[in-house]
Structure 1
Amino acid sequence: MHLLLLGATGLVGSHVLNLALADPRVSAVTAPTRRPLPERAGLSAPVVDFDNLPQDPSIWAVDAVICALGTTLKTAGSRERFRQVDHDYPLEIARLAKAHGARTFVLNSAKGADVTSLFFYSRVKGETERDILKIGFHRTVVVRPGLIDGPRQEPRPMEHWAGRVLSILDPILPPSIKPNPPHAIARAMLDAAVSTTSGVTIVPSQALL
């Protein structure tokens, strides 16, 4: 299987990349990024401008797409930019991949994603899910982690302290509110991408422990 991986430099995406390159079910990984990645066997990492995506079939002609793209409002700098990264980029790439034969799309979304949410973050996540589903892949999987427990390149103080508190309380927490480790999310996404089943699957946070 040839995978297209979006967000390979992020917390979850980097775990997906390591797992995919070590997985005998995966023959090749294409991971378009803004900055160069180190060369690794089985990896093609073209540097692209996400605001002006190339139409080159060698990038988009894959079997399955794993999307771990995402940012924060603080990092994005505006609601418009956040929506562009978390909604517009995944949607445009999904259309390109579908047009070039991809049959599966796996999206890393978020717990609480809902197009009717009063919270901007959750509403955009819900809109992304909705619009990806409309494209009509043979198989679409939406993974909805809660708080992701792990070190990030960009500082997220509130998430950091929330993660520490939840880690202390972990033995008594119900599965639905436990932090999700990035390697568990990555494993679920990769397994979903290589599956041969069809239809739509939603993976809740309690399944990502």
Structure 2
Amino acid sequence: MRVLLVGATGLVGRHVLAQALADPRVAAVIAPVRRHLPAHPKLQSPQVDFDRLPGDAPWWRVDAVICTLGTTIRKAGSQAVFYRVDHDYPLGVARQAQAHGARAFALNSALGADPASRVFYNRVKGELERDLSALGFESLTFVRPGLIGGTRDEFRLGERVAGVVLGALGPLLPPRWRINPALRIAAALLDAAIHARPGVHVVGSERLAEAV
């Protein structure tokens, strides 16, 4: 099968890319990026501007989409830019891929995603889930991790502190509040894309929790 991966340079996206390239069930990975990725026989990484996605590119023709695209308000600089990256970009990709025949979509969302939430981050994630659901994919999966475990290219103080605290308290916490390793999140996303189970599915943080 052919898989479109957006967000391939992020923490979870890098693991999805590595797993997909190593999986014999995946014939090709298309990973649109702002800068080219290292070459691989199964990888195509077209350079794109997510504000101006090409509507007629042949690489849109895929079987499934995995979206790990996202930023932080601090990095984005404003709520408006954050919304564009975490909501508008994934939704735009979904529409284009579906128009070209994609049947399945797997989203790296977040614990607490809710369009009615008072927390801006959770509300944006919830609105994206709602708007993706309205598109009518044959298979749609929302993977909702809590704190993601792994090493990022960028330093995030809040995540680092939370990781230390939750790591120490892990055995005492309910599974849904434990650290979710990026490897497990990536595996859940890839599994959802490959199997394309009909309907809408949610993979909660308790199913992604680090073993203790």
TM bin, normalised by shorter chain, reads over 0.9
1:191 match: 191
SS in 2 for 1:197: coil
Letter in 2 for 1:11: L
2:98 match: 98
The farther-off stretch of 55-64 and 33-42 is 55-64
Shift of 1:196: 4.0
Check whether the contact 1:109–1:143 (CA below 8 A) recurs between aligned residues: yes
Structure 1: distance between partners of 2:101 and 2:60: 8
Letter in 2 for 1:146: G
Check whether the contact 1:146–1:179 (CA below 8 A) recurs between aligned residues: yes
Shift of 1:149: 1.1
- Write out aligned runs for 1:22-37 (5 A): 22-37=22-37
Gaps of 5+ in 1: none
Check whether the contact 1:57–1:100 (CA below 8 A) recurs between aligned residues: no
Structure 2: distance between partners of 1:34 and 1:177: 34
Structure 2: distance between partners of 1:172 and 1:25: 38
Check whether the contact 1:111–1:146 (CA below 8 A) recurs between aligned residues: yes
Q: Which whole-Å deviations, capped at 9, do the CAs of 1:138-189 have from their partners, x for residues lacking one?
A: 0000000001011112221011111011111112221010010000000000
2:126 match: 126
TM-score by length of 2: 0.97
1:110 match: 110
SS in 2 for 1:136: coil
Q: Which whole-Å deviations, capped at 9, do the CAs of 1:62-99 have from their partners, x for residues lacking one?
A: 00000000000000000010000000000011000000
Identity across matched positions, percent: 58
Aligned residues: 209
SS in 1 for 2:140: strand
TM-score by length of 1: 0.98
Gaps of 5+ in 2: none
Check whether the contact 1:31–1:43 (CA below 8 A) recurs between aligned residues: yes
Letter in 2 for 1:87: H
1:177 match: 177
2:7 match: 7
Structure 2: distance between partners of 1:29 and 1:189: 14
What stretches of structure 1 move > 3 A for 4+ residues in a row? none
1:196 and 1:113, CA in 2 relative to 1: closer, same or farther beyond 3 A?
Answer: closer
2:145 match: 145
SS in 2 for 1:135: coil
Q: Which whole-Å deviations, capped at 9, do the CAs of 1:3-49 have from their partners, x for residues lacking one?
A: 00000000000000000000011010000001111101200001111
Q: Which whole-Å deviations, capped at 9, do the CAs of 1:109-130 have from their partners, x for residues lacking one?
A: 0000001111110000000000
